[in-house]
Structure 1
Amino acid sequence: LGVPLCQILHCLLILLQLIEIVLFIVDSGCSKHMTGNLKLLINFVEKFLGMVKFGNDQIAPILGYGDLVQGAVTIKRVYYVEGLNHNLFSVGQFCDADLEVAFRKSTCFICDLKGNDLLIDHLCSSCELGKAKRNSFHSKLSPSSKRQLHLLHMDLCGPMRVASINGKRYVLVIMDDYSRYTWTHFLRSKDETPEVLIDFLRLV
């Protein structure tokens, strides 16, 4: 495109300051629904419920709980964790409430036991496309990109059951679509991912 990467990152930072993006991570390793954003909760009950420990060994207090409304769906008993920078939905808590959590490609569906999608009345165009059926994929003979570093595929996996010698439990894999060249980065926690990606983009 001819636009320097630092200029693109600067524009993204300005956009993020102007727009409040509410992102939810569906986490199979999380025991309870949690948020660090008290503004998202209604019917809030202020009550100290103990401490929570995260995969990066960070400890934070649970200062209460409330309900979170997403469209026509109300998610009950979402814990307010002071200092938590992410909004986490617990797969286990959904399952305990007799809900089914299904992952297909890049989409997550949460349904009741009768198969009714809880968000059926509030599908965005991306969700509708995600639910649409299509023909099976054929192996491509040529890459999608026309040059090196034009398209990167990334995957973050972990936490690994056994840490490395340096105490790292996560693996970030980055692959160039054109050359299929692969870089592997080992991380102590998921929180390191943005910094590692920025360093990587500066290098390439």
Structure 2
Amino acid sequence: MFYACHSASIAQDRSVWFVDSACSNHMTSQESLLLNLDIAVTCKVKIGTGDLVQATGKGSLIVNTKHGKRYINEVLLVPGLDENLLSVGQMMEHGYYVLFGGNMAVIFDDSNLENMVAKVVMAGNICFPLSLESINPVARKASIGEESWIWHKRFGHLSFSNLKRMQREGMVLGLPKLSEMKEICESCVSGKMHREPFDKEKVWRASHPLELVHTDVCGPMQNDSIGDNM
């Protein structure tokens, strides 16, 4: 994998992403920007200096656009990377159309080139910086919380401590880091409830007409029981 060198004249800004035609994958060094981070995905990335650096995970980024929230998936986490990079090739793989011309790059999400997602003006150092507004930390925290509940249910309502242990010890491939939720799971509470046993002896019996009578009437059943007893 390779990405092109960019000039350091543009200030380092976590919201700036460079549209790069020489980059094979979306990349960032900022773990806080990524959702659903999968640390099981690792690979080597060749940077502009020719050095190979290790990508330590892959996640998704949510950004706000005039067309609503958009997901940028399969973003590699590369510690030490100076800039955030958007791969033109990867955008095209996901159905986007990127046109270069007139000192700008225009990104569309349809083949008719009617739905423009972004217009990026070329900077003085012949690169294409795009400012993307990622979702705020509160919204991101809520999304992580929702994901924790999803994994909790996927594993049959397994406790969060055991889920964290499975992720920490690498017992399950693809299991992301999860936060331990303090809210109570209603399904878990209901599943652990049990009925108190009935009294073995009669504690009350009707003795006069029209007094309340409790009875247990069941049947006939539509389906035969095991052993055809009912």
Q: With the length of structure 1 as denominator, give the TM-score of the two structures.
A: 0.47
Compare the two structures and name the one with the higher helix fraction: 1
Give the structure with the higher percent strand: 1
Pick the structure with greater CA Rg: 2
- Which structure would you say has the larger RCO, counting Cα contacts within 8 Å and 6 or more residues apart? 2
With the length of structure 2 as denominator, give the TM-score of the two structures.
0.42
